[in-house]
A and B are shown apart, each in its own frame.
Chain A
Amino acid sequence: MTEIALARLAGGMEPPAAGVMEEMRQALEDVFAARVRVAEVRVRVPEASLDGARGQYSAPLVLKALLEGTAGMGEKVLGVTSEDLFIPMLSFVYGQAQLGGRGGVVSLARLKQEYYGLPGDGELLAARARKEAVHEAGHLFGLVHCEQPECAMRLSTNIRQLDLKGDALCLGCAALAMEHGR
């Protein structure tokens, strides 16, 4: 059984709420039949990873710090942050993961209704967080984007697309993830 450490990222950043972390843990357990535990990880993100002008953290740098800070902790590690993430080429990313690798990060910033100037909605945030956790973990299991509308591996580049898909894998992706986990 694969072990996934779900790292709640803190250290200069606002840590995500415990309730959301539990939702994500449950989703990963359901989908990947993995042993998932939540760990508090104080990641010392380098100052350079915060782009002052953009008000965002660099996803590759946060991921690098996460991998360094969690060496020996679980086969796979998925960091969760409340901060908004970016890669230099793109205006933002919901998350980023090493394809078939050890580590990935998920940002909750743009999953919150408040980001879009709307009243908060805990249930919606939990649903979105589950999808994103499964999506990025799917990449860790070697999955690439899927064309199936329902599949969590479908690419979403905006919040509407994220809301349209499900938090489970389609049969094809599930089979591939099992292959990889073995």
Chain B
Amino acid sequence: MKMNWQILVVDDEEIMCESMAAWLREDGYAVDTASSGREAIEMARRQDYAIYFVDLKMPGGIDGIETLMEVRRIRPEAAIIIITAYATVDTAISAMKEGAQEYIVKPCNPEEISLLVSRIIKVKNLQRENAILRKKLAKQYQFHDIISKNARMQEILTLCQEVASLRSTVMIRGESGTGKELVARAVHFSGDRAQKPFVAVSCAALAETLLESELFGYEKGAFTGAAERKKGKFELADGGTIFLDEIGDISPKLQADLLRVRHERSFDRLGGSEEVKVDVRVIAATHKDLRAAVEDGHFREDLFYRLNVIEVQLPPLRERREDIPLLAGHFLDRISREVGKEVAAISDGAMRILLDHDWPGNVRELENAMERAIVASKEGVLGEEDFRFLQGNGSGRQFRAPAAMTLAEMEKLMIEATLRRTGGNIKEAAASLGIDRSTLYEKLKKFGIER
């Protein structure tokens, strides 16, 4: 373990530097030396040292405290030990204020230094182990690219696994950007159709006739420009899964065609008379309220029930805020690698902004925000200023009081929404609302809220 840790000794006196380095090398550490603050800062830029021993008094412009400040800026994780020949309270205070891990007076007892170094290395080893475990944990929260520790999302993912190998149609509902296609893919790739094609079609993006030919294909000469026979998405997905996104937007004619495919597992190509048989699992998604569309007469009731066999309702990101740090960390890793920028972390202040934002565009908006921040950032850590754009454009958390609503009604809605988010978990809901469990029970009784 020791071999992995490097130490830098900084002192203008060569004998001091070298003898200390030799002593630490006997302990198995890789030790470098620097004869000035300037040199130490240069070396810190090139190499990540676990511990820096820095002499307080050095000639040549940059003293120990300045070296300390600069190294801390470049390597916030590093442990810096300030060495001095005689302790003065002032310098000790300023060294500690600037983030020195320890302040020691030379000559120092070997036992003291040995304990100090092993204590720091012990912490470093734990930090490293912790980082590895965190990575593993993040993987545990990950199911086919869906990252979540939210209780409701976990239920959804369990459901996805359970229904993965069935042929039943799945209807995924959720706001845009909540990851409907990801869930569809997860269902497909965890079932026994995983080796077969997964074909995604956005029904909103295409005009009716175009969508029809996309879905069912056409025969040569079916219409002007149909020079060749073309297979439709349903045929391409044979044996696998077709994902119909924005199903709420399709025309009555297509609704009828889809109903037939669902019913008879067959269809005709455009301009063809030969029946095409397919074995396709349908997963549909919409951000609309289809039940309301059925009541209004915009969506066929029989098709709705055919599609809505297994219903999955994805919560918006603002109802699973606990996932924001997890997702932000994931995007940080991925995007910084993609754009080739060394951005290692998100500051606490920046995370606060992310947690407070309402995310109308959900996970996709978070992904875009992370990309924008990473591309524009100048430092290795994303700060509050990198996310200013989230607050400026009015999409931030600006509270608008609903008209004609009493405080009690508001309170009831708030409690209901929180319970929905926690999946009925009283303890979690109470903590999130900032009240006692007993107070929450009283309020549930008072408002007649069912758990």
Contact = CB atoms under 8 A, between A and B. Distances in A.
Interface of A: 54, 58-61, 86-93, 96-99, 139, 144-145, 155, 157-158
Nearest to A135: B26
B106 A88 contact: yes
22 contacts: A54-B107, A58-B15, A59-B19, A60-B19, A88-B13, A88-B106, A89-B20, A89-B53, A89-B107, A89-B108, A89-B113, A90-B20, A90-B106, A91-B107, A91-B109, A91-B110, A92-B107, A96-B19, A98-B22, A157-B110, A157-B114, A158-B111
Contacts of A88: 13, 15-16, 19-20, 106-107
B83 interface: yes
Contacts, number: 74
A59 B26 CA distance: 14
B28 to A, nearest CB: 4
B18 interface: yes
Contacts of A99: 22, 25-26
Interface string B173-188: 0000000000000000
Interface residue SS majority, chain B? helix
A157 B19 contact: no
B110 A93 contact: yes
Nearest to B3: A144
B111 A157 contact: yes
A144 B19 contact: no
A89 B16 contact: yes
A139 B19 contact: no
Nearest to B28: A144
A60 B19 CA distance: 6
A155 B27 CA distance: 8
Interface of B: 2, 13, 15-16, 18-20, 22-23, 25-28, 53, 83, 106-111, 113-114
Contact of B18 (A60, A92, A97, A139): A60
Contacts of B110: 90-93, 157
Contacts of B111: 157-158
Contacts of A58: 15, 19
A144 B26 contact: yes
Contacts of A155: 26-27, 114
Contacts of B19: 58-60, 87-89, 96
Nearest to A56: B107
A98 B18 CA distance: 11
Interface centre among A89, A92, A93 (most CB of B within 10 A): A89
Contacts of A145: 26-28
Contacts of B107: 54, 86, 88-92
Nearest to A87: B19
A61 B14 CA distance: 12
